[in-house]
Amino acid sequence: MAMSESRVSITINNGFAEVQLNRPDKRNALDMAMFYDLDKVIRKISKDKSIRAVIVSGAGDDFCSGLDIKSVMTKPVNGIKLLWKWLPGNANLAQRVVVGWRRLPVPVIMAIHGRCWGGGTQIALGGDFRIASPEANLSIMEGRWGLIPDMGGTLTLKEILSVDQAMEWAMSAEEISAESALEHGLLNQVADDPLAAARALAEKLTIGSPDAVAGVKKLYHRAWHRDQRAVLARETFYQWRILLGKNRSIAVKKQLSDPTISFAKRKSW
């Protein structure tokens, strides 16, 4: 069975759901439509009890090159839509496309190739397992745009990397090779054909009882990480603070450079 949203396709065969980011002409960059479609697909999978495992890949040359800055950030309302949540510990839209994979009761395997940058790395971190091609490279690239990584990937980084390693990677926005990612535990394996390797792993993981697999996933995620809501709240809080501070800074600079604004009014800042 095949289904398709405008930016994401999903095929379900023999209990395996294969999800593909489907915006190859833009290197699968995340625009608002892709955020919404990923969120919808995750919800669909969560309701389908026949699914035993999920494999996520990208169409074209890259897994996902990150946020489509031009498309998303040119409209301030998009930032509100991505970051809005009713309670601090809830996942907002930007976080649901990452932590949503962790919350599914089945194994989720990310098959990565080409560029896996920014939001693409965040999505990959949402999987339970990550397999990449030798030429793949990963980057927490948000720092290049004056942002913090706020899509929920922090949960996985905390489980894998030491704090100094995670900070260096996020602060530098460095691109790391698949080999380096494997050495640091960010990948489970490197394979010439990551999609074929992901299918083989899915077969291996689903031999046993579905209830036992779901139980192991829930048990281990809770044992390794108890303060998920606190992490999600902090990500959003610090991102809002940066965005609001940045907007205020721009407004201040504009006033200071405008000769028509009186000194008294400038001082009010």
For the chain, give every domain's residue range. Answer: 2-267
Beta bridge mates, 9: 4, 20
The domain 2-267 belongs to what CATH superfamily? 2-enoyl-CoA Hydratase; Chain A, domain 1 (3.90.226.10)
Residue 4: per-residue pLDDT = 57
Q: Which pLDDT belongs to residue 262?
A: 35
pTM of the shown model = 0.84
* Tally of CB atoms within 10 A around 189: 14
Q: How many CB atoms lie within 10 A of CB 252?
A: 12
Strands 2-4 and 16-21: unpaired
**What pLDDT digit, counting tens, does each position of 35-85 carry?**
999 999 999 999 999 999 999 999 999 999 999 988 887 788 887 888 887
**What average pLDDT does range 5-30 have in this prediction?**
95
pLDDT band with cut points at 50, 70 and 90 for residue 237: confident
Is residue 260's pLDDT more than 80? no
Q: Report the phi/psi class of residue 262: left, alpha or beta, with left for phi > 0 and alpha for psi in -120 to 50.
A: beta
What is residue 11's three-state secondary structure?
strand
The answer to whether residues 139 and 78 touch, using CB atoms and an 8 Å cutoff, is no
More confident: 92 or 253:
92
* Per-residue pLDDT at 226: 65
